[in-house]
């Protein structure tokens, strides 16, 4: 096996596009700095709502195949070469939003056994040996079943990998500080009239918003803002971008954050303020 770079980051996401919205600038930064960045996506998002009218004929497996292509294009924009689909393409289906019949589909990710899916992810962790893992909080950021399941699977996989010989040094959850979100939505209200969106989302629509004191790590991705926007544009079925804002299929504008924020939930905090890997060399 080819020797991997000294710094290795692994991110676990539910659907194609989640990586670009939540962590695009972070991924681009670390890839540009020479770190090995691995993205594991748990489903193909086959039940996503499609924005462009000319693509609305895409549903189910056809949409999943199309979104797989969008994901590949997004990773190219971010400079990330290692993208995985958990268990292989189509192993776990999109579960749809919480509380709908799709949640009961035995093939959907929400119905997967956590240990079984985590075992598959642990194999990737043991191969890549990341020092840092990034995923969602226990509510999946905003309550989507696939996001909640991605959290459960990621956290369990970290434990399984440790039992088999690789200890992940740090685990982070995606976050947005409330003060930053409120300020950004304030600017959005002032600029909404010149945007291609009629209405604004609200702070409560942003996944992972928490009180500022819970933020442990701030990643300035300003130098990689263009890469993040390009990656988001690659997910054309799901996202419309009008920098520095974007909208999902609900057509509600929200800020496109190029500074990205994290809460360290496992591992040493020293040195982690502006670098996911900060201080780990000294701690090891």
Q: Which residues pair with 132 in a beta bridge?
A: 9, 170
- Contact, 30 vs 262, CB < 8 A? no
- Per-residue pLDDT band at 281 (split at 50, 70, 90): confident
Q: How far apart are CA 274 and CA 165, in angstroms?
A: 28
Alpha helices in 91-138 (DSSP H): 114-128
Question: Among 31, 6, 2, which Cα is nearest to 281's?
Answer: 6
For residue 274, what are its two tokens? Answer: 């502006």
pLDDT tens string 43-74: 999 999 999 999 999 999 999 999 999 999 99
Residues 75-97: b if buried by 16+ CB within 10 A, e if exposed: bebbbbebbbbbbeeebbbbbbe
| Percent of the residues in the chain that have a pLDDT greater than 90, as a whole number | 97
What does the pLDDT read at residue 122? Answer: 98
Question: Among 235, 277, 283, 278, which Cα is nearest to 256's?
Answer: 235
Report the pLDDT averaged over residues 213-229. 98
Q: How far apart are CA 25 and CA 54, in angstroms?
A: 29
Give the residue carrying structure tokens 């609305």. Answer: 56
Residue 222 pLDDT exceeds 50 = yes
CA 242 to chain CA centroid, Å, is: 20
**Residues forming the annotated binding site for Zn(2+)?**
15, 18, 147
Residue 284 pLDDT exceeds 60 = no
| Percent of the residues in the chain that have a pLDDT greater than 70, as a whole number | 98
- Contact, 34 vs 4, CB < 8 A? no
- Contact, 198 vs 160, CB < 8 A? no
For residue 136, what are its two tokens? Answer: 């969602």
**Residues forming the annotated binding site?**
15, 18, 147
Residue 3 pLDDT exceeds 90 = no
Report the pLDDT averaged over residues 13-18. 98
For residue 264, what are its two tokens? Answer: 């360290």
């Amino acid at each position: 096996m080819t020797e991997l770079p000294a710094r290795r980051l692994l991110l676990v996401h539910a659907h194609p596009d989640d990586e670009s919205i939540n962590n695009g600038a972070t991924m681009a930064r670390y890839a540009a700095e020479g770190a090995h960045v691995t993205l594991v996506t748990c489903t193909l998002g086959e039940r996503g709502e499609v924005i462009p009218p000319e693509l609305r004929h895409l549903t189910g497996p056809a949409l999943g195949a199309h979104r797989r292509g969008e994901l590949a294009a997004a990773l190219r924009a971010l400079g990330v070469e290692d993208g995985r689909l958990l268990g292989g393409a189509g192993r776990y289906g999109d579960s749809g939003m919480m509380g709908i019949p799709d949640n009961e589909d035995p093939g959907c990710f929400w119905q997967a056994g956590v240990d079984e899916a985590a075992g598959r992810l642990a194999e990737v962790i043991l191969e890549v040996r990341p020092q840092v893992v990034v995923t969602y909080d226990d509510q999946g950021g905003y309550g989507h079943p696939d996001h909640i399941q991605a959290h459960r699977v990621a956290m369990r996989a970290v434990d399984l990998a440790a039992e088999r010989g690789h200890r992940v040094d740090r685990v982070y959850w995606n976050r947005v500080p409330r003060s930053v979100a409120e300020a950004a939505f304030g600017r959005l209200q002032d600029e909404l009239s010149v945007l291609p969106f009629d209405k604004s989302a609200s702070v409560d629509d942003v996944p992972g918003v928490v009180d500022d004191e819970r933020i442990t790590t701030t990643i300035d991705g300003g130098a990689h803002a263009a890469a993040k926007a390009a990656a988001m544009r690659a997910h054309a079925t799901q996202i419309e971008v009008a920098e520095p804002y974007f909208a999902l299929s609900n057509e509600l504008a929200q800020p496109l954050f190029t500074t990205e924020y994290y809460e360290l939930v496992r591992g040493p905090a020293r040195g982690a303020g502006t670098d996911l890997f900060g201080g780990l060399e000294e701690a090891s």
